[in-house]
Amino acid sequence: MTTATRTAYDELKALLRESATLGSVGSLLNWDQETQMPPKGGDFRGEQASLIARLAHERLTDQRVGELLGACESDSELLADQQTAASLREIRRDYDIATKLPSSLVTEMSQTFCGGVEAWRVARGNNDFNAMKPWYKKVVELNRRKAECLGAPAGGELYDALLDEYEPGMTSAQIEVIFKPLRERLTPLITAIGASGVKPDESINKVNAPLPDQIRFVELVAKAVGYDFGAGRLDVSTHPFSETIGIGDSRITSRFSDANVADPVATTLHEAGHGMYEQGLPRDKHFGTPLAEACSLGIHESQSRMWENQVGRSKPFWTWLLPQLKKTLGSDFDGFTADQAYACVNAARPHFIRVESDESTYNLHIMLRFDIERALIRGDLSVDDLPGAWNERMKSDLGLTVKEDRDGVLQDIHWPMGAIGYFPTYTLGNLYAAQFWDTINGVFPDLDAQMERGEFAPLLTWLRENIHAHGRRYSAPDLCQRITGKPLSHEPLCNYLEAKFKPLYNL
């Protein structure tokens, strides 16, 4: 490595670190807005956030970044280090995406999507699809323009350019290859569950518990699985999320109601899963470079879903958890067994709302959105026909008749906020989680026994070493191949769901 190039790479990293630091400040503005900010602070918060976003974007797209990157890329000694080579590959990716989008389009998108979210909050409340029509049309149009700027991959379609932002390297054709057999095995399972006549006892979710005790309890759960409260915190918010504020500071939120302790436990495990991934990224060493960033949204979701489902909806987990629950939340829970709790947290039935769906039906919601948003970008479906297309699919896929658009096409924030190509990453997360889980069970044959004892450190350490520590060094498909020895497939998830639901529903 020549001295000049080392200097170029160091200068490049310093510029990117400044951009990332501004990004982290933007994260604090967002976290604070969702959890702490008083209502009258809202208008100005948008001004703060857009200034910080602009400054971060200016640094990332600085011509100097391009020059330095070019200098680094032409230095064979620098590229000989595989980690550095991976870092430069991903910096190039980010730089190209950021510079391909004209700043006028970025501004127009940010303003439109901001307005779209505000309009959606009102429209959903009023169950008024017509009010959202102009916004959805704008979202489709802007996303098409964005995709044209980014360019579809060779042989791919426009939609792939959007998908690529959230799940680098994945195409809609590849997704189709996995989603098709997934659907073919899920549909008969869901039908059989519906026909089984088994009704799990859900009375444990009817027991009331005071909010402060529930919070204390889920904090205990998050801590037990390995979420580090020294580098994070848990707050209450309507829509749970995780947000990294900077090095050593990855926060999560959860939501609560009077009864139903299963939901806060699942939500907290989900967000703690995201949070532990964030806490495991090597920011201390690589902050500002892709090596300190999450691999993809699908891999991120694999971490949240694994802790929520493979761990948090397992019988060994509830065998360990139930005594803790009784100790913290009181004698009203004394009568329940781990079997009851396990059946309750896995109660399966088709639901209008994606985020309230069980593991068996959840992925059908994603496929519905994937097909619809792809058709919108292709121009095969117009926004005018959106509710009709949605409701038809809900009927054919899940047997549900949508009565109100707020329980249908208006339910999710993703489209109003301009995110097209995002939804598939949820099912990719479920698929990665199941495939990783198979590998992990091979590594730890006594995993169930560990969970029954409340020992989660070996699992977390494995995830840290095999997934978290790599940041974006490997693409998601490469990481999957590296860890599991195979490309991503529908089979592990299907096997996992059948193995869980067949005994629960006497199939």
Which residue in the block uniquely carries the two structure tokens 């510029």? 15
Rounded to a whole number of angstroms, the minimum distance from the CB of residue 248 to a copy of itself is 3
Dihedral angle of Cα 462, 464, 469, 474, to the nearest 10 degrees: 60
Q: Which residues neighbour 378 within 8 Å (Cβ) at sequence distance 6 or greater?
A: 157, 158, 159
- The residue (of 38 and 197) whose beta carbon lies closer to a copy of itself is 38
Which token pair is 241? Answer: 């999320």
- The residue (of 49 and 376) whose beta carbon lies closer to a copy of itself is 49
Rounded to a whole number of angstroms, the minimum distance from the CB of residue 218 to a copy of itself is 17
Which residues are designated catalytic?
A: 271
Q: How many CB atoms lie within 10 A of CB 238?
A: 8
Query: In whole angstroms, what is the distance from residue 218 CA to residue 223 CA?
Result: 8
Which token pair is 329? Answer: 């939340």
Rounded to a whole number of angstroms, the minimum distance from the CB of residue 246 to a copy of itself is 4
Residue 422 has phi, psi (to 5 degrees) of -90, -40
- The residue (of 230 and 445) whose beta carbon lies closer to a copy of itself is 230
Q: Would strands 249-254 and 234-236 be described as parallel, antiparallel, or unpaired?
A: parallel
Residue type, 156: G
Rounded to a whole number of angstroms, the minimum distance from the CB of residue 279 to a copy of itself is 9
Residue type, 394: M
Q: Which residues neighbour 343 within 8 Å (Cβ) at sequence distance 6 or greater?
A: 200, 201, 504
Give the angle subtended at the CA of 394 by the CAs of 429 and 500, to the nearest 5°: 45
- The residue (of 96 and 228) whose beta carbon lies closer to a copy of itself is 228
- The residue (of 223 and 453) whose beta carbon lies closer to a copy of itself is 223
Q: Which residues neighbour 388 within 8 Å (Cβ) at sequence distance 6 or greater?
A: none
- The residue (of 37 and 207) whose beta carbon lies closer to a copy of itself is 37
Give the angle subtended at the CA of 159 by the CAs of 155 and 165, to the nearest 5°: 100
3-state secondary structure of 404: coil
Q: How many CB atoms lie within 10 A of CB 130?
A: 11
Query: In whole angstroms, what is the distance from residue 250 CA to residue 230 CA?
Result: 10
| Interacting residue ranges for a copy of itself, rule: CB under 8 A | 18, 21-22, 24-25, 28-29, 32, 36-45, 47-48, 51-52, 55, 228-233, 245-249, 251, 287
Rounded to a whole number of angstroms, the minimum distance from the CB of residue 237 to a copy of itself is 14
Dihedral angle of Cα 378, 383, 384, 385, to the nearest 10 degrees: 60
Rounded to a whole number of angstroms, the minimum distance from the CB of residue 353 to a copy of itself is 31
227: left (phi over 0), alpha (psi -120 to 50) or beta: beta
Query: In terms of Cα–Cα distance, which of 381, 494, 385, 389 is closest to 435?
Result: 494
Rounded to a whole number of angstroms, the minimum distance from the CB of residue 59 to a copy of itself is 11
Largest separation between any pair of C-alpha atoms in the chain: 72
Rounded to a whole number of angstroms, the minimum distance from the CB of residue 58 to a copy of itself is 11
By residue count, the chain amounts to 507
- The residue (of 1 and 224) whose beta carbon lies closer to a copy of itself is 224
- The residue (of 53 and 117) whose beta carbon lies closer to a copy of itself is 53
